[in-house]
């Protein structure tokens, strides 16, 4: 009787795990810069729930530069493979430093993940991760999602708030999902 219960419970758990991946998909975001060719989107909390349900098959990929991953913080289970690298060159038009494509991105992803893995890609706010999802899709990965609110989230747009312009609206860091500053040698990107 106990063996039958364990078998039924095991089958139930597997079904729930697969359903959690299917149910977690969210609608395309309003911000077209967050759209991907794969058309698969999740929020930070949905991503965390998907990972919790099946951590052996669901992987979190943080595509931000190493400095962001280390000094801003990161999801505790996220692998860091930057899709872009810091150039150190100031862009006057953007009022920001330029980032250059990491030519090693797809190669590192193929070494780290199986083609059958579900890969949930995060950046700061969902723009770089959308580009990264497209690169991974072109590299042959078929189950890749954009975490549309990223690690830090979207900026608050409220002139009356002292939080105006700050990334406090959503995102992994603001959602209650676990994050850390601690670095794990098995998860960090080493050139």
Per-residue model confidence as pLDDT tens digits over 105-118: 999 999 999 999 99
Q: Which residues of the chain have pLDDT under 70?
A: 1-24
Q: What is the pLDDT of residue 21?
A: 45
Q: Which residue has the tokens 């209650």?
A: 176
As a whole number of angstroms, the distance between CA 169 and CA 28 comes to: 18
User: Which DSSP state fits 27?
Assistant: P
As a whole number of angstroms, the distance between CA 108 and CA 139 comes to: 11
Q: What is the pLDDT of residue 69?
A: 98
Paired tokens of 54 = 């099946």
Do 122 and 111 form a contact (C-beta atoms < 8 A)? no
Q: What is the pLDDT of residue 19?
A: 43
CATH of 2-180, one of 3.40.120.10, 3.30.300.30, 2.130.10.10, 3.40.250.10: 3.40.250.10
In this structure, how many other beta carbons lie within 10 angstroms of the beta carbon of residue 165? 12
Per-residue model confidence as pLDDT tens digits over 10-19: 444 444 444 4
As a whole number of angstroms, the distance between CA 139 and CA 122 comes to: 18
Paired tokens of 72 = 């801003």
Q: What is the pLDDT of residue 1?
A: 57
As a whole number of angstroms, the distance between CA 137 and CA 114 comes to: 13
User: Which DSSP state fits 33?
Assistant: G
**Residue ranges per structural domain of the chain:** 2-180
Q: What is the pLDDT of residue 4?
A: 57
Whether the model clears a pTM of 0.85, i.e. scores above it, the answer is no
In this structure, how many other beta carbons lie within 10 angstroms of the beta carbon of residue 20? 17
């Amino acid at each position: 009787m106990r063996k039958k219960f364990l078998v039924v419970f095991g089958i139930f758990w597997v079904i729930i795990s697969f359903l959690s991946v299917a149910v977690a998909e969210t609608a395309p975001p309003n911000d077209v810069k967050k759209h991907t060719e794969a058309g698969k989107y999740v929020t930070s909390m949905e991503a965390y729930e998907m990972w919790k349900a099946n951590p052996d098959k669901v992987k979190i990929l943080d595509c931000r530069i190493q400095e962001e991953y280390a000094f801003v913080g990161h999801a505790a289970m996220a692998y860091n493979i930057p899709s872009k690298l810091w150039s150190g060159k100031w862009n006057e038009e953007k009022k920001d430093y330029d980032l250059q494509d990491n030519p090693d991105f797809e190669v590192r992803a193929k070494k780290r993940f199986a083609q059958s893995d579900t890969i949930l890609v995060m950046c700061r706010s969902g723009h770089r991760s959308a580009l990264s999802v497209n690169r991974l899709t072109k590299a042959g990965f078929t189950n890749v999602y954009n975490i549309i609110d990223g690690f830090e989230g979207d900026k608050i747009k409220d002139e009356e708030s002292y939080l105006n312009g700050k990334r406090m609206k959503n995102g992994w860091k603001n959602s209650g999902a676990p994050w850390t500053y601690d670095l794990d040698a098995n998860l960090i990107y080493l050139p």
